């Protein structure tokens, strides 16, 4: 846990600088840092994931250490993703967010907003990548990552490319909402 709350205020910077450094130094994360990633990706999912991890390991500290140590020890990126999803039960958006923080040069966050932008750029339909079977998931994720790289090639690094596409989607949605008077979205 951090007591540098000013640093923690900029959660993304905290994750990609401090948590990433701690992970590679200690070869694991504690529950605070793992759940900081989970909250950054999807705050709404934290309780459900916490209960699932407690049920599996008895405590969040044990779960965080076991999971992130296994990620660190995995022999390659493919095995890291498959481990997070199929051995630990994280869905692709969360698994890719965790791995993006830990290995930002190799992983990009799988997000519906980015999928929208890739579809708009006619680079493919990636919405169902997370639904793929273990045998083909890695190849499909690699196609997604390549499309992210292609769609935002003016930006350096996967993280900036991901942020650009997410930001473009969010700005388009706001513009559309302003034009349409903020219509109610289906639940």
Q: Which of 146, 139, 10 is nearest to 19 (CA)?
A: 10
If asked whether residues 97 and 167 sit together in one domain, one would say: no
Mean predicted confidence (pLDDT) in 166-184: 94
Q: How confident is the model at residue 167 (pLDDT cuts 50, 70, 90)?
A: very high
Last residue of a domain, one of 50, 84, 105: 105
Last residue of a domain, one of 43, 72, 105: 105
Same domain, yes or no, for 40 and 126?
no
Give the per-residue pLDDT at 52.
97
pLDDT at position 149, please?
A: 97
User: Do 125 and 185 lie in a common domain?
Assistant: yes
Residues 81 and 112 occupy one common structural domain: no
Distance CA 104, CA 121 (A): 23
With vertex at residue 158, the alpha carbon angle to CA 67 and CA 37, rounded to the nearest 5 degrees, is 35
For residues 118-146, average pLDDT:
93
Residues 2 and 43 in one domain: yes
Q: Do 145 and 91 share a structural domain?
A: no
- Which pLDDT does position 186 carry in this prediction? 77
Instruction: Indicate whether 50 and 71 sit together in one domain.
Output: yes
Same-domain check for residues 2 and 81: yes
Phi, psi of 27 (to 5 degrees): 65, 25
pLDDT at 183: 86
> Token pair for residue 72?
């660190």
Closest CA to 28 of 68, 87, 85: 68
Q: What is the pLDDT of residue 147?
A: 97
Confidence of residue 2 (pLDDT cuts 50, 70, 90): confident
- How far apart are the C-alpha atoms of 51 and 59, rounded to whole Å? 9
Q: How far apart are CA 183 and CA 121, in angstroms?
A: 25
**Alpha helix (H) ranges present in 124-181?**
134-151, 158-180
What is the domain range of residue 11?
1-105
Shared domain check, 44 and 118: no
Which of 90, 105, 120 is the last residue before a domain boundary? 105
What is the number of domains present in the chain?
2
**Contact of 35 with 50, CB cutoff 8 Å:** yes
Residues 40, 1 contacting (CB under 8 angstroms): no
Rounded to two decimals, what is the model's pTM? 0.93
Burial class (CB in 10 A: 0-12, 13-18, 19+), 99: buried
Same domain for 5 and 31, yes or no, is yes
């Amino acid at each position: 846990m951090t007591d540098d709350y000013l640093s923690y205020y900029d959660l993304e910077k905290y994750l990609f600088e401090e948590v990433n450094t701690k992970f590679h130094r200690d070869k694991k994360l504690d529950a605070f840092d793992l759940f900081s990633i989970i909250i950054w990706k999807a705050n709404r999912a934290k309780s459900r994931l916490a209960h699932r991890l407690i049920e599996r390991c008895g405590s969040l500290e044990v779960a965080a250490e076991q999971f992130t140590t296994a990620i660190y020890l995995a022999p390659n990126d493919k095995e890291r993703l498959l481990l997070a999803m199929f051995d630990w039960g994280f869905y692709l958006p969360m698994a890719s967010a965790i791995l993006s923080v830990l290995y930002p040069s190799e992983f990009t966050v799988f997000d519906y907003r980015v999928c929208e932008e890739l579809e708009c750029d006619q680079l493919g339909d990636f919405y169902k990548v997370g639904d793929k079977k273990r045998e083909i998931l890695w190849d499909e994720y690699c196609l997604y990552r390549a499309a992210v790289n292609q769609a935002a090639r003016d930006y350096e690094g996967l993280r900036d490319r991901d942020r650009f596409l997410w930001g473009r989607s969010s700005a388009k949605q706001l513009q559309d909402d302003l034009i349409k008077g903020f219509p109610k979205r289906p639940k």
